[in-house]
Chains A and B, each alone.
Chain A
Amino acid sequence: AAKRVGTPKRNIHMSNIVEELIFDKHDVPSTPKLKSKRSLAFGREKDIEKILLEVTPKKPVEKTPKRGQRSSSKYAKDCEAPKTPKTPNEKLKMIRSGELTPSFKERESVEHSKLSKNDLQLARERLHVSAVPLSLPCREKEFENIYTFLEGKINDHCGGCMYISGVPGTGKTATVTGVIRALQKQVQEDMLPAFDYLEINGMRLTEPRQAYVHIYRQLTGKTLAWEHAHALLEKRFMTAAPRRITTVLIVDELDILCNRRQDVVYNLLDWPTKTAACLVVVTIANTMDLPERVLMGKVTSRLGLTRLTFQPYSHKQLQEIVTGRLSGKVAAVSGDARRALDICRRATEIADSSKNKEICVNILHVQQALSEMIASAKVQAIKKCSRLEQILLQAIAAEVTRTGVEETYFMGVYTQFESIANFMGGILIPSTGQVLRLCSKLGAERLIICEHTRNDMFQKILLNISMDDIHYALRVRPEATQ
């Protein structure tokens, strides 16, 4: 968590010398809040963080302490300031300059300790999608591929692009961040030249141009308007600077950044071609043929041919992922790793709530979870309709059979409705107004698709369920069809 806050700043430590030549920025004081958080930090990611913090001073030996002194002396009053109430405008200014770190409310009671959890709860925790393992199973090849690419680029001190594709939930982002983590470890051990790491996600931006703002903020911590940020980034990447280190930029959800003009994607992919930039861009998207289908020729050309496709997980691989997180054995039946993990998690919940003494997930639990999470409830929905709604569905089906066309008109449906209701007997036939109300109710549930009721008797009605479903659902309940 504190990593995100910490990372860009740490990068500034390393590339400060380079950046100060260009940016002429005043230093960002580190707030006491941040410090206390760092010292508090525990957990896997934070351990790395800690190590990193301890390790980084090696290179710029006098840089960090000096800054610490400066901030403590010069900004001593400012550091105390965030506690005191401020006007919203001042606050906003502080947020924009990155002086105010976003925080989140802490719990009042302490979290349950690990000891009080039973095996199932521990398993559920480990099965959560957010618990990304240190090494991803079944993605060794892809890991190797991306690792060699990035390592080569960083070592050679040149720029480049890579395009990674694959359907959602196949471990693209997790693998890439894993590679970055491994590379950062190499940097610590002085096996690799240092590099900056930036990441943006297309879906986290409100519009493509906000990408500039996000990149710039990760470099300096300041928020600017996109035009300004763009100009400054342009300046940074276009002009040669001595002792510039490589920057690795991960662009997730690339397809969202593609607007009609494609200026943002063009810029992001054009900077690596500049010798001064030393920028390596790794782009991630879902569709394999995105460069050819959506991007313009010149953008595709800049994207290059270094590509990697993540295949959907096979049955065996999913099984390995799940067993990798557990010590027991749960087989999965889905193409998406997130899906498989969620199903397993639900199975543990079901096992937990069933009053069985022996705590173990058996195949029945998995089946129940599976039927809950993949089930279609359409048949159930038809069964739970009121009697007149069921007759209406039958009437629509009858009208479709009569006319042979999928699209029916309310008038014909109403005639069918009348005759079915007459046939069944004992039913007061409702007026068109009431049947229209039934129509819109079924339309809201999307059992049928119908137009606005203002078209009255001439509205078109489409059946959104198969006729077999209707027959199946209503045959099981005898009193509805007798």
Chain B
Amino acid sequence: MSDDVEELSQIRRFLKERLQRDYTTFRGHDTERENIRQLLQRTAEMAESNSLLLIGPRGVGKTTLVNAVLTDLLNNADFIQNTLVVHLNGYLHTDDKLALKSITVQMQLENACDGKVFGSFAENLAFLLECLKAGDKRSKSVVFILEEFDLFCAHHNQTLLYNLFDVSQSAQAPVCILGITCRLDVIELLEKRVKSRFSHRQIFLFPNADDFSVYVKLFETLLKIPNERELKKHAERVASLKLLQSDQLTFHRNHFDPGKYKFNKRSTERWNKHIDALLQHTNVRQALQSLFDYDVSEAGLKIFIYRLVAQLHNRPGKTQVTSEQVTQLISSYNNDTKVEILCGLSILEMCLIISMKHHSEIYDRDPFNFEIIYARFNKFAKLSTGMQNIERGVVLKAFEHLRNLELILPITMSCASKVQKEFEMHKLALTYGQIHQAVQRYQVLPTEVTQWSQSSLI
């Protein structure tokens, strides 16, 4: 029994770690992968200068692709000896000054010392350019990886991009500039002289959206446990990552290491068989199809599977991924969070929402203020049994609560409006359908309120 418990927790840990920390496994897109690999290899071996943009929607695995290619190349001793990898991120290096310092540190130039860079911005730029100019075909190649490339385009004058691309197009040290971005029109952001220096190699990376069976297959591979041989192969591949000596590219430090895991043959077989059986369920397939309709990216699927795996327990009936779990989890994706917020409101707040709905229906989504809503609510409250004798101050408080929840939005977004808060105009950020659903699902809503919500006549 305790063996089973042990085994299950190991499986769970294995799956979770593989989902979260396997930064270098990239599936599919063989032509794109080969393309980048060759480009980087030529930069390293032939000392060619190149530039490339990798474009694709978020969650498609652009960074993973680059990591995978780097891992492939790390087996090549030539590559390690002859290249420096400089990694920049548009969110971290928000201006050229920071980016330049980071480059200086990562390239270990002479004006850098233990991660500290000396001299002003202008001096750093001049020194970097001099160094690159001093290099030629016999010097090391530098691979610049610019993540969130579109943010670098927003820098002043695009100085950094101009200089990097300029180096790549002149007889200086061999560099390869690899931009990664999710914007399809990123080329339009470049200034014309920068654009002219860019080599216009673009690789577009799109998720597989045509074939549902591939998606199901991916679901299967992500949940199944590989056999010993595959584990070993993976472990060997990951082992070469240690050779990557970079302070900025940190994916090798805490990488998923399959070598740590050893599975009982019988239990893995049982587990894999169960996954096979799971995929035969029509319910599961339907649920996956609805997920696929919404989000085709691998990242989305991984998050889903992670949640699924996290539900595994030692309790009976929970030791396996069941079809009920899958369908339940996916239906939870479709929950409307706003309806849930509405269901958590007090009855008074609910009444205010209903008055707002009536107002919006009658005046075709015209904005309203507290006075209008209060008058409408008062009409109802006077005739109701439960809502009489509610003070104006209490209603105002409820109104403010709704505003803080951002169920109603002020028309002017500025907070410093001089209008008194009772008279400030608002609009309703809910659809009528949502309000209707909330009224249906609200626990113990008085009947008179439910009736009132259906018709504005009292």
Q: How far is A192 from B294 in the complex, measured between Cα atoms in Å?
A: 74
Minimal Cβ-Cβ distance residue in B for A374 = B200
Q: Which residues of B contact A384 (CB under 8 A)?
A: 57, 206-210, 296
Minimal Cβ-Cβ distance residue in A for B123 = A223
Q: Which residues between 118 and 166 of chain B lie within 8 Å of chain A, taking CB atoms? A: 118-119, 121-123, 125-127, 129-140, 157, 159, 162-163, 166
Label chain A's interface by main secondary structure. Answer: helix
Known: A168-B195, A456-B409. A432 touches B338 (CB 8 A): yes
Flag B325-341 by CB within 8 Å of A: 1 or 0 each: 00000000111111100
Q: Which residues of B contact A380 (CB under 8 A)?
A: 204, 206
Question: Do B195 and A205 touch (CB < 8 A)?
Answer: no
Q: How far is A458 from B411 in the complex, measured between Cα atoms in Å?
A: 10
Is B394 close to A, CB under 8 A?
Answer: no
Q: How far is A375 from B53 in the complex, measured between Cα atoms in Å?
A: 13
Is B406 close to A, CB under 8 A?
Answer: yes
Flag B148-190 by CB within 8 Å of A: 1 or 0 each: 0000000001010011001001111100000000111100000
Question: Do B58 and A441 touch (CB < 8 A)?
Answer: yes
Q: Which residues between 349 and 392 of chain A lie within 8 Å of chain B, taking CB atoms? A: 349, 353, 372-375, 377-378, 380-381, 383-388
Is B47 close to A, CB under 8 A?
Answer: yes
Question: Do B183 and A4 touch (CB < 8 A)?
Answer: no
Q: Which residues between 401 and 437 of chain A lie within 8 Å of chain B, taking CB atoms? A: 411, 414, 427-428, 430-434
Known: A130-B170, A253-B193, A383-B209. A108 touches B429 (CB 8 A): no
Question: Do B126 and A214 touch (CB < 8 A)?
Answer: yes
Q: Which residues of A contact B78 (CB under 8 A)?
A: 109
Stretch from B109-117, B218-226, B350-358 contacting the other chain: B109-117
Question: Do A432 and B336 touch (CB < 8 A)?
Answer: yes
Q: Which residues of B contact A213 (CB under 8 A)?
A: 122, 126
Stretch from A154-162, A240-248, A263-271, A334-342 contacting the other chain: A334-342
Q: Which residues of A contact B166 (CB under 8 A)?
A: 203
Is A204 close to B, CB under 8 A?
Answer: yes
Query: Closest CB-CB distance, B133 to chain A, in whole Å?
Result: 5
Known: A109-B78, A432-B338, A444-B57. A386 touches B192 (CB 8 A): no
Minimal Cβ-Cβ distance residue in A for B335 = A431
Query: Closest CB-CB distance, B121 to chain A, in whole Å?
Result: 5
Q: How far is A95 from B123 in the complex, measured between Cα atoms in Å?
A: 9
Q: Which residues of B contact A84 (CB under 8 A)?
A: none
CB-defined A-B contacts under 8 Å, sample of 26: A4-B130, A91-B111, A100-B110, A103-B134, A105-B139, A121-B46, A130-B169, A168-B192, A168-B193, A168-B195, A203-B159, A213-B126, A339-B196, A349-B38, A375-B202, A377-B206, A380-B204, A384-B207, A385-B209, A386-B209, A386-B293, A386-B295, A441-B57, A446-B183, A455-B409, A458-B427
**Apart from A132-B171, A203-B157: 19 A-B pairs, beta carbons within 8 A:** A2-B134, A5-B133, A88-B118, A100-B110, A103-B131, A103-B134, A104-B132, A104-B140, A105-B108, A106-B138, A130-B169, A213-B122, A338-B197, A339-B196, A377-B204, A384-B207, A384-B296, A431-B334, A434-B333
Which residues of B are interface residues toward A (Cβ below 8 A)? 34, 38, 45-49, 55, 57-58, 78, 81-82, 84, 96, 108-111, 113, 116, 118-119, 121-123, 125-127, 129-140, 157, 159, 162-163, 166, 169-173, 182-185, 192-193, 195-197, 199-202, 204, 206-210, 290, 292-296, 333-339, 406, 409, 427, 429-431, 434
